[in-house]
Amino acid sequence: MSGTKIRDVTRVVKTDEEIPIRTKLPERGGDSNKKGVLYAGFEVQVAEEWNGEEIEGNNLWYRDKNGDFYWSGWFEEIKQDSEISIEGDQSIELSWWLSGFGIKEVWDEGYMGEGVSIAVLDTGIDIDHPNLKHSFNQIDSFNFLSRDKDVQDWNGHGTHCSGIIAANGVNNVWGVAPKAKVISGKITRSVISGINLDVLADAIEYYNGKVDLISISAGVSRINKRVREAIEACEQTLIVAAIGNSETRRKGDYPAEHESVLAVGAVDELEKITDYTIRSKNLGICAPGHEIYSTAQKGGYKTDSGTSMATPYVSGLLALAKSKSPQKSMSELSNLLIETCVTKQSGNYSYDIINSTKFMERV
């Protein structure tokens, strides 16, 4: 059987059942070719239509760009794709952390993070948020607590961080890299309640080599051998992590304290390092992280502050760079980002703050 190529359009799962993803049409392998499942609300970008196994009198199947198959009866009517395009649009009002750091100029050059995948290890993600549905990759997302695909965020921290990376302008709320793909790795129900070391190691091991970046806006006071080995095994995948929040501590959180991880602190609108950013000797760079307005659970929005917010900002900026120079490794881009930072002083403490314009010129 042959398929018919169509203009790429998005279709949305309408049933509450678990929808199987097949690597081939059913008659070409039966249940042996199942890859995973989709859930209600998940969107699939269809590239071809195929005639396959008949179910309830319907033999039309969809094939996406990855070559996976889905029975058409599980989906709603066609939803036309809307491209994210803001070039030359003067009506867009950007927050200070985007307008003041040259991000709009990068977008105008045509780089918005396309082709880049980022695993956000956090409290999950609001899977139905209108500002994140375009960027959320549910297939590769995983709940490392319950060992299933349910990554719904009931806390909001992971959703907020995901929006800083890839919100696409709904209600005029934007992320740094609106076309990047966000993969949710749920490793905690609340960052305040802490993280199990084995769960952290599981998540890092799982996404090593599967994504371009691992963004971690959470941390622990110590790591064990397994977590250390998981971090050190990440050669192609870069880990970006929050140094932590404390006005008294001088040692940051792990994984940020590990030498192979890009540790991130927060600055405010005046580019001053925040009082709560831990002044660790291993702090790599600082980025906007104070009073950041972004996505929240239940389709909402909120303002939050912390090195947790600065971390996805850096992840998004690296995604912009990767979309401009896909041939460069994440390690090369990370080194360039550090090299192009501007050194500033706060009392007796010096810190490096990102220079997005200079960085993207060097990429």
Catalytic site positions? 122, 157, 308
Question: How far is 274 from 268, CA to CA, in rounded Å?
Answer: 6
Question: How far is 279 from 330, CA to CA, in rounded Å?
Answer: 25
Which residue bears the tokens 């042996």?
Answer: 32
The DSSP secondary-structure symbol of 174 reads: B
Which residue bears the tokens 């890009």?
Answer: 262
Alpha helices for the chain (secondary structure H): 96-99, 103-108, 157-166, 197-207, 225-232, 307-324, 330-339, 356-362
**What 3-state class would DSSP assign to 248?**
coil
Question: How far is 266 from 306, CA to CA, in rounded Å?
Answer: 6
The DSSP secondary-structure symbol of 189 reads: S
Question: How far is 127 from 41, CA to CA, in rounded Å?
Answer: 8
- List all residues 6 or more positions away from 23 whose beta carbon is below 8 Å from its beta carbon: 29, 33, 34, 35, 67, 68, 69
Residue 14 CA from chain centroid, whole number: 25
